[in-house]
Amino acid sequence: MTSAHTEVSPAETAPADTAPPALPDFPAGFLWGAATAAYQIEGAVDEDGRTPSIWDTFSRTPGRIAGGDTGDRATEHYHRYRQDVRLMAELGLGAYRFSVSWSRVQPTGRGPAAKQGLDFYRRLVDELLEHGIQPALTLYHWDLPQALEDLGGWPARDTAGRFADYAALVADALGDRVGLWTTLNEPWCSAFLGYGSGVHAPGRADWTAALRAAHHLNLGHGLAVEALRTALPHDARIAVSHNLHAVRPRTDSAADREAARRIDAVGNRVFTGPMLDGAYPADLISDTAHLVDWSELVHDGDPATIARPIDLLGVNYYTPTVVSALPEGQAPDAAAASEAGHGDGAQSPFAGCGDLLFTRAPGPRTAMGWTIDPSGLTELLLRLHREHPGLPLMVTENGAAFDDRLTPEGAVHDPQRIAYLRGHLDAVRRAIAAGADVRGYFLWSLTDNFEWAHGYGKRFGLYHVDYPTQARTAKDSARWYAEVIRRGTLPDLGV
C-alpha cells in the first residue's frame, strides 16, 4: 500500500541566460494542439437531454462565481463547433483536445447513453477528421453529474465504478475514430479544490472528503483504463493529465524543505504514487493519518487496478508553487493558502497543510496573478523523465490569461501571451534536449471561455470572444502559434 517517497528536487535546468545559445527544432511528429473543456465552451446546458452537472449547480449558487456568471451559454460551441474547427484548421493544429460532458452522455450518471448527446461528439469528431485534425478526447474535466454528487460524489466509492461504465459507453461510440484518450484531467483540482477548499464545484471544504475523493478518482482512472482497453482498438493510446506542482521551498532551511516535501506528497505523489508506482507514498499516509484511515479506504486489489499501464502522461503547468513553514508563534491563516494561486477558499486545499505559508515567486505575472516562470515546466518534465523512464510525456495544458482588448480596428494585440508561449515552448524544447520524451504540446486555450470561478473575466484564448455576439477574432498570438506549428521551431517574438 505504500512506496518510498522521493525528495523534492530543485530545478534541473540552468537559467535561460546561461543555457547553450542554440537548441534543436522540435522532433518530427511532434503533436501541436489546443485544448478546451466541455462546461467552459459548450453552452446548451439543458438541450438534447443534458442534465445539470456539479458546475451547473455551483455556478448558479450566489457568490460562487465572479460577476454571477454561469456556463449556461459559454461560447456556444455546441452549436458553433464547425466554425471552431475551421479556426483550428486555420492554425494548422495537428490535434484538438476536448472533453466530453458526462451528464450530456449519461444524464443520471448511470444506465444507457443518451443518443443525442453522443451524436454531438460523433459530429465533432467527424468534423475534426475531415479537416485532418486528430481528436484527443478527455472523459472527465470536472463536470460530475449532479445526480452522482447527490449520492455522495467522488468521496463515495461507487462513483469510481460509475465512471468506468461511462468510459465504456463513450469508447463504444467513438473508439473507431478517436485514437488518443485521457481518463481524468487534473484530478487534484477535482479532489482538493472541489472537496478540500471549496473554491470549485461542488464547493465542499472537508479535508477527509478530499482525500477520499482523491483515492476514488485514482480508482476510477484505473477502472476506466481497464474498460478502455477492452473497448478500444489495440493501437489506441490512453493517458491521464495531472496539474503537477513544481514545488519549491522558499528558503533552504530544513523547515521549508520539510514544508515542500509535505506539499509534494499531497499535491503530486497522492496521484503519481498509486498510478505510476503502484502504491501511496508512506510519508503521505503518515502525514494524513489523522484525517483518513488508509487501511479502510484502500481495498484489496485497488493498487493493482489504479496502476494499470498507460501510454502517455499528460502534464499541465502554469506556475511554480513556493512554500514555507509557519514562523514560530504565528497562527495558521486560511487566507495564506490563496498565495498558492488556487483561489481563496474556506481552508487550504492541501489537506493537512493549513500550517504552511505560500509565496508568489518574484517576476512578471499573468492576469490570474500567477508568476511567469517557464523553468518550472522543464523541471517537471525532467523529474518525470528521471523517475519514470520510458513513459512518454505530453504537455496537455499550458497558457496564460491577460487583459486582452479588441482595438477599434478589430485586432487583439497580445505580446505578453506570445512572450509567455515562447518561454514555455522553449522550456519544453530544453527538456527534450536533455532527454525527456515529450511527444506534443496543447495550448490552453483555443478560445476565451468560462474560466470556472473567475467567470468570463479571464481570457486565455488564442481567439478573442465577444460574448454578447459570440464573434471570434484571432489574436496576434494565434498567428504566432500558427507560425510555430508551420516551422516546427520557435520564431522571433514578433508575428
Q: Which residues are catalytic?
A: 186, 397
Secondary structure of the chain as H, E, C letters? CEECCCCCCCCCCCCHHHCCCCCCCCCCCCEEEEECCHHHHCCCCCCCCCCCEHHHHHHCCCCCCHHHCCCCCCCCHHHHHHHHHHHHHHHCCCEEEEECCHHHHCCCCCCCCCHHHHHHHHHHHHHHHHCCCEEEEEEECCCCEHHHHCCCCCCCCHHHHHHHHHHHHHHHHHCCCCCEEEEEECHHHHHHHHHHHCCCCCCCCCHHHHHHHHHHHHHHHHHHHHHHHHHCCCCCEEEEEECCCCEEECCCCHHHHHHHHHHHHHHHHHHHHHHHHCCEEHHHHHHCCCCCCHHHHCCCCHHHHHCCCCCEEEEECCCCEEEEECCCCCCCCHHHHHHHCCCCCCCCCCCCCCCEEEECCCCCECCCCCECCCHHHHHHHHHHHHHCCCCCEEEEECCCCECCCCCCCCCCCCHHHHHHHHHHHHHHHHHHHCCCCEEEEEEECCECCCCHHHCCCCECCCEEEECCCCEEEECHHHHHHHHHHHHCCCCCCCC
**Residue 136: beta bridge partners?**
97, 180
